[in-house]
Amino acid sequence: MKLLGIDVGTGGTRAVILSETGKVLASATHEHAAFASLQLGWAEQDPHDWWRAAAGAIKEALQKAGITGADISCIGLAGQMHGAVLLDENNQVLRPALIWCDQRTQAQCDWVNEKIGAKRIIELTCNPALTNFTLTKLLWVRENEPEIWKRFRRVLLPKDYVRFRLTGEQAIDMADASGTLMLDVANRRWSEAMMSAANLPMSCLPRLFESPEVCARISEEGAAASGLKVGTPVVAGAGDQAGGAVGMGIVRPGSVSATIGTSGVVFAATDHPAMDAQGRVHTFCHAIPGQWHVMGVTQAAGLSLRWFLDLLGAGVSYDELTREAGAVPSGSAGVLWAPYLMGERTPHLDPKARGALVGFTASHTRGHVVRSILEGVAFSLKDTFTLFEAMHVLASSIRLGGGGARSKLWRQIQADVYGHEVEIVEAEEGAAYGAALLAGVGAKHWNSVEEACAAAVHVAVRVQPDRAAEQVLKQQYSLYRQLYVALKPLFAQMS
């Protein structure tokens, strides 16, 4: 038995093939075209490009593993959340998808809050109206592109569009649906009250499934494009955060992950829909039936370091930058980085926030800047841990994922900033790995997601905090907390 996991990310689509024990047999990634940003704060991608990348990655992974599509028992998908793929009556894509980091919908958030009420929205969906969420993207298209809206019939999220191309079925899982602002998260069903209040038709929504449920099978068209076998079952899967959490074994209360990819996420499993009254963290369904999770998001985590690398131009590598940063003491000699390059979600809920690099003197070097970026992203993630403490959400173990787990320096900085031992798991395949484990549950190889994780997810490295560095960074964090408060009035004027 072989399992296939597919992760439709922002930068590319990854396919991972696992053995029946959870061992990675092969993986492949095909990159996406860079997302388009036609105006400040906009972010769009072409769904056809996701499909091209997915089909290519699947074929390459099968080839690397030395198997055919007939050897795959079940398939799971994960992917970037919150995107809006608009389809017409013939299931053709109407326009480029507005993706997770698009910030253009503040006017629509204001309209929803005024019409429905901010408190009522949280009651209906467990979350506030944010510019990232899918519903506000639909409202923007309705208001600004009426000719396209007339032809609109169905909305899919990114991974679900790839599933549609693989199977011909339109479906979504509870975890990914939680980030649309159209799901009754507490009761795990679409919110008719929310849809009615926003004057959106229930018919535009795909069918809901729990993450390990089989919801579709590979079609002839999907098989021809990908090399998979017609009829192979496909489970609902999960948004990238819940899928990545499964891949890291974050399946029981007390287990927490901190993942640094393009964005950064602190994710805690819960056995009930815990909520922050101000909606500063997300309360979503987990990829595990009957479980939920709370999640804080930093919009520009790994993106912060990528942004700085791009500024430097060709000839500079991540390794070179992190070597320079490693030679700088903890605290970056006072330099602070606020990673608000794409606005910010947790804890500020402010699309107008902007990145800020402060505290320079003539003696500071490039290494100080890089280290301040690494520390600033960790400080931003610590904001979520601070909220979790106030919500009485336990963090008995912390596991790291994404680029922040692969960098030894960033691992240590996170342990020092969080003041807690951090763990790194053996398989570093992220959400694609979790999607494959969900497929294993769908194939009945494991009886539950918890059983799958117990069998397949193992800790490879543990990193202890350096207590001296921890004290320095504790002081830096107190200064970091004052940055947003001081700069917020300026951010509003700049926007």
- 316-335 pLDDT, tens digit per residue, is 999 999 999 999 999 999 99
* 388 within 8 A of 268, measured Cβ to Cβ: yes
Kindly state the tokens that stand for 81.
Answer: 């959340």
C-alpha distances out from residue 402 to 155, 249, 410, 427, Å: 29, 14, 11, 11
pLDDT of res. 262: 86
Between CA 433 and CA 23 the distance in angstroms is 10
Between CA 288 and CA 267 the distance in angstroms is 14
pLDDT tens-place string over residues 115-144: 999 999 999 999 999 999 999 999 999 999
Mean pLDDT of 18-40: 93
Between CA 191 and CA 183 the distance in angstroms is 5
pLDDT tens-place string over residues 350-378: 989 999 999 999 999 999 999 999 999 99
Residue with tokens 């398989």: 427
Percent over 90 (pLDDT), the chain: 93
* 480 within 8 A of 376, measured Cβ to Cβ: yes
How many domains in the chain? 1
pLDDT of res. 402: 87
Mean pLDDT of 209-237: 98
Residue type, 437: L
In a domain, 461, yes or no: no
Mean pLDDT of 250-264: 93
Banded model confidence at residue 478, pLDDT cuts 50, 70, 90 = very high
pLDDT of res. 34: 86
Banded model confidence at residue 232, pLDDT cuts 50, 70, 90 = very high
Residue type, 322: T
Range of the domain at 170: 2-242
In a domain, 36, yes or no: yes
C-alpha distances out from residue 114 to 89, 119, 243, 249, 437, Å: 32, 11, 34, 40, 42
In a domain, 57, yes or no: yes
Q: Which alpha helices (H) appear in 204-317, and where do they start and end?
A: 220-226, 240-247, 302-312
* 492 within 8 A of 352, measured Cβ to Cβ: yes
Between CA 276 and CA 280 the distance in angstroms is 6
pLDDT tens-place string over residues 77-109: 999 999 999 999 999 999 999 999 898 999 999
Using CA atoms of 450, 427, 414, 361 in order, give the dihedral in degrees to the nearest 10: -150
Between CA 180 and CA 473 the distance in angstroms is 36
Read off the CATH number of the domain in which 76 is found: 3.30.420.40
pLDDT of res. 114: 97
DSSP conformation class of 43? -
In a domain, 292, yes or no: no
pLDDT tens-place string over residues 154-201: 999 999 999 999 999 999 999 999 999 999 999 999 999 999 999 999
Q: Say whether pLDDT at 40 is over 90.
A: no
Q: Say whether pLDDT at 495 is over 80.
A: no
pLDDT mean across residues, the chain: 96
In a domain, 33, yes or no: yes
* Residue 176 appears among annotated catalytic residues: no
Report residue 76: phi and psi, to 5°. Answer: -125, 150
Between CA 219 and CA 408 the distance in angstroms is 43
DSSP conformation class of 400? E
pLDDT of res. 322: 96
Catalytic residue among 7, 102, 176, 240: 240
No. of helices (H) and no. of strands (E), the chain = 18, 24
pLDDT of res. 429: 84
Q: Which residues contact 352 (CB under 8 A, 6 or more apart)?
A: 343, 491, 492, 494, 495
Residue with tokens 């489970």: 235
Residue with tokens 């069918």: 207
Between CA 7 and CA 64 the distance in angstroms is 18
In a domain, 227, yes or no: yes
Residue type, 122: I
In a domain, 84, yes or no: yes
In a domain, 402, yes or no: no
The three-class DSSP label of residue 41 is coil
pLDDT of res. 277: 85
Q: Which of 30-44, 121-135, 451-465 has the lowest mean pLDDT?
A: 30-44
C-alpha distances out from residue 53 to 26, 156, 237, 382, Å: 16, 18, 18, 34
Length, in residues, of the chain? 495
Percent over 70 (pLDDT), the chain: 100
* 339 within 8 A of 377, measured Cβ to Cβ: yes
Q: Which residues contact 150 (CB under 8 A, 6 or more apart)?
A: none
DSSP conformation class of 350? B
Between CA 232 and CA 216 the distance in angstroms is 8
Kindly state the tokens that stand for 38.
Answer: 């036609």
